[in-house]
Amino acid sequence: MKKVLKILGILLVIVLAALIIIPIAFEDKILNAVKDNINKNLNAELSFVDVDLSLLSSFPNASLSLEDVALTNFEPFKGDTLIAAKEISIDMGLMQLFKDASSQIKVNTLHIDEAFVNVKVDSLGNANYDIAKKTSASDIEQETESTSSEAFVFDIENYEIKNSRIHYYDKVSHISLDLVDFNHSGQGSFSENESKLDTKTTAIASFGLDETQYLNNNQIDLDAVIGLDLKNSKYSFLENQMMINQLPLKFDGFVDVNDDNQEIDITFSTPKSEFRNFFALIPKEYAKNIEGISTRGDFKLEGSIKGVSDDKTIPKMDISMKSSNASFKYPDLPKTVKDINIDAAVKNETGKLADTYVRIGALDFSIDADRFTSKGTIKQLLSNPLIIASLKGKIDLDKIAQAYPMPENNELKGSIRADLSTSFDMNAIEKGQYERIKSQGTAEVSDFLYASDDVVNPITIKDATINFKNADYELASFNATSGSSDISAKGSIDNLYGYLFSDKKLKGNFTINSNKFVVSDFMVADEEATTSENSGSDSEKEESLDHLKIPAFLDVELQANANSVVYDNLNLKNVSGTVQLKDEKAILKEVKSKLFDGSIVLRGDVATGEKIPVYNMQLGIEDFDIAKSFAGMEMLEKLAPIAKVITGKLNTTLNINGELNNDFSPKLESVSGTALAKLFTEQVNTENSPLLSALTSNLSFLEKEKINLKDISTKLAFDKGKVAVSPFNLKYKDIDIQVAGSHGFDRTMDYKATLNVPAKYLGSEVNKLLNQLNDPETNELTVPVVASLTGSFTIPKVNTDLKNAVENLTNQLVQIQKEKLKNKGKNLLHDLVLGNNKKTDSTKTANDATDVLQNVVGGILGGTKKKTDSTKTKSDSIAKKDPVKDAATNILGGLFKKKKKKKDTVN
């Protein structure tokens, strides 16, 4: 017994070892087989991140798993991913691992998880799924002779695709199909000539044709048994049940795939004829909650698709939708939609693609006494759709709100009347050939009211009328109010159909009049702001909701006239001008207004296309009241803070650009531009200017009340909160002042004021010196005094070079007198030596000269007019040791001695 157990234990160890070793030994073989087969047969590249071969997880089968798989196209779709999957795994019999690469390998099960299948057909008809390599005749002959031409034969017991997505787009037919949350499983065999495949499928489907969405996120459930005739490539619907939302459909028929075409014979119909089935075709977000809805009447959807599909033909089709005298009522609403008649069909009776058309024999309904009817056809559906339609009736919007669930907090009232017939083709609209449009009729709106959380104030349209006459659309009347604003408009619309039925912009020319227009009445919630309103602070939420955005679909020109336009705290009067709304921009052309007791002309644009709106404007300002404008426009006060103390008028041409806040006020930190400004001053409120007070306290000869700020002209250049001011001139009595520098929007400043000061203002000592010299020429002397103005306009710092200026002036005056004395000394010496042709007492002359020079020197040095002892004077001079006076004394003394020596020589 122990020996048996020992043997069994050894066998178990061998088996376990084999289960571990075999995957390692055969993993490369399987991978090479997979890659060789794909490279041999497909024009595509397979890649994966990891591979795992296991015998333990699926024993007695082997399990091969590929992770992060991608199948990438070659030309003409080079780089596009055809298939990507998180994981693809296959199970096969253990003995399949021991076959050589030329033998058939059977795969039992296939699992695909989180796959994305991206199918494309380009405008030339090339399909990215057409990746099989073309085989030559010799290749076919070799494969026929070979016992095994393929590395894999699928003998599937079951397969499963989970949590996947399929996207299909055909540029030739303009068909798009999206299947998301796609889950599909099947059981059957692909190795027998004839077999059955039992499948289950769930997905959320969207289907579009020529930009029209026929399915939009509709739930699809399909249980189908498909007959497989693999020898003849024929696939039949045996037993099936499909649900589109809650609409049941049954299919019968087959698809026969031939070498050059596909033969299709499929019929389908609703098994139950109830009007409730109609709501199953409507996406849930539009049908709302139909639980508990009561319906009456019938609804039938049926169709057939029969014929050959190839490069030249499509199958004939007849798909119809019918209902008569039906009605529905939501359980919580008082009104019933009744007398519903639907008669619509999609048909192709020839097999030619261009002959596919839609016929709407009736689409009618009533709410109470209001009746709305319509009918039409859409021909050439898949080439150049030709639309012929008519509609007539009246709808009371408040009754619709009582019959059909509206969004919460929305209010809709008013009535719409229409009597319109039209005929047009889509090429005419696309190419702007509006003369091919034939229209006749009128559409009217009256007593319309719309209120919701998306608008600040309810919008009321008292009346609006559009007249249709072929391609001409006239807005005959439009009178509306919102908040305290009123608007009336008339004009023409150039391409209403291009806007309604294509991606064209709405073009037109309108004249708009308003007695009062308040911009904030039309602020709306931006879509991005709405999605993020649950994040951020309360102030950020409030700001995010006040975003005014110019719609991208507008391309209109407005001739506007308004008695009053209120924007923020500004009240513009008599506004007139032209505004063009285009490319999410408002382009202002000579928009004029009265403001701040003056006038303003605006030119430029405001662009709202980006996340942050921007502007580039030129403002021509004339006769603005300075006090009012600086109190009402923060930007002006930032540009020229000193002007806040001025009473008078402002003229300026302001070129400015920058970013806007959500309420369309300028972001001051982003402002850039230039201004050429002129101030006409009537009065200066010096008590409100710490800067003038600081300046006059540092320059005692200035009186701030008498500084002349009249007629100031200067040029400003500003960028991102900094303002550079070109030099400008001021006047104080007979003092010329030049100012230049810069300041910030934060009120910091860095200025220099250069004052050209006459000598008489520079203190008593200078004036005393001037009086002693008694020379009219010296009284005209001026000296520059520089005042540096820093700090801020509220707490200024003033520094001057006044002390140096006084010293420089004193030296200048002394130098002038030295020159004069030198000249006088020379003249006197000339008289003494030559007698100047006169007979004089030489001793007296010498004494007179000495007296004159001593008196002049005494005056320069600050002495008295009395005669003093020369020795004492000299000693006093030495004792004071004034270098300027010493220099003057030495020079004059030298001159005097030389003259005396010459006198002795003559004598």
3-state secondary structure 549-612: CCCCCEEEEEEEEEEEEEECCEEEEEEEEEEEEECCEEEEEEEEEEECCEEEEEEEEEECCCCC
- Which one, of 817, 898, 804, lies nearest residue 860 by Cα? 817
CA-to-CA separations, 731 to 458, 645, 650, 703, 739, in angstroms, rounded: 58, 17, 19, 12, 11
How large is the average pLDDT for residues 693-712? Answer: 79
Q: What is the pTM (predicted TM-score) of this model?
A: 0.60
Question: pLDDT at residue 815 above 50?
Answer: yes
Report pLDDT for 58: 57
- Count other C-beta atoms under 10 Å from residue 602's C-beta: 20
Task: Give the C-alpha separation, 260 to 187, whole Å.
Answer: 29
**Stretch among 478-487, 517-526, 649-658, 803-812 having the lowest mean pLDDT:** 517-526
Phi, psi at 692, each rounded to 5°: -65, -35
Taking Cα atoms as reference points, which of 820, 825, 828 lies closest to residue 773? 820
pLDDT the model gives residue 283:
63
**What's the rounded Cα separation, in Å, for the pair 122 and 459?**
46
Q: Going by C-beta distance under 8 Å and a sequence separation of 6 or more, which residues neighbour residue 847? A: none
> How far is the CA of 876 from the CAs of 632, 871, 880, in angstroms?
68, 8, 6
Across the chain, how many H-helices and E-strands are there? 18, 39
Q: How far is CA 407 from CA 290, 366, 410, 411, in A?
A: 15, 22, 6, 9
Are 58 and 48 a contacting pair, CB within 8 Å?
no
Give the whole-angstrom CA distance, residue 903 versus residue 907.
6
401-443 pLDDT, tens digit each: 889 887 777 788 899 999 999 998 888 887 878 888 888 999 9
Q: What are the tens digits of pLDDT across the range 322-338? A: 999 999 998 889 999 99
3-state secondary structure of 887: helix
Closest CA to 33 of 155, 153, 151, 148: 151
Percent of the chain topping pLDDT 90 = 19
Q: Residues in the chain, how many? A: 907
pLDDT digits 0-9 by tens, 827-873 = 666 666 555 444 444 444 344 434 433 443 343 333 334 444 444 44
More confident residue, 193 or 400: 400
Start-end of H helices in 740-841: 764-773, 776-779, 802-834
At 697, the pLDDT band (50, 70, 90 cuts) reads: confident
Percent of the chain with pLDDT over 70: 73
Left, alpha or beta for 791 (phi > 0: left; psi -120 to 50: alpha)? left
Query: CA–CA separation, 205 vs 708, rounded Å?
Result: 80
- What are the tens digits of pLDDT across the range 602-648? 999 988 888 888 889 999 999 888 878 877 788 888 888 877 777 77
Q: Which of 135-139, 572-576, 778-782 is predicted with the least confidence, judged by mean pLDDT?
A: 135-139
**pLDDT of 488:** 94
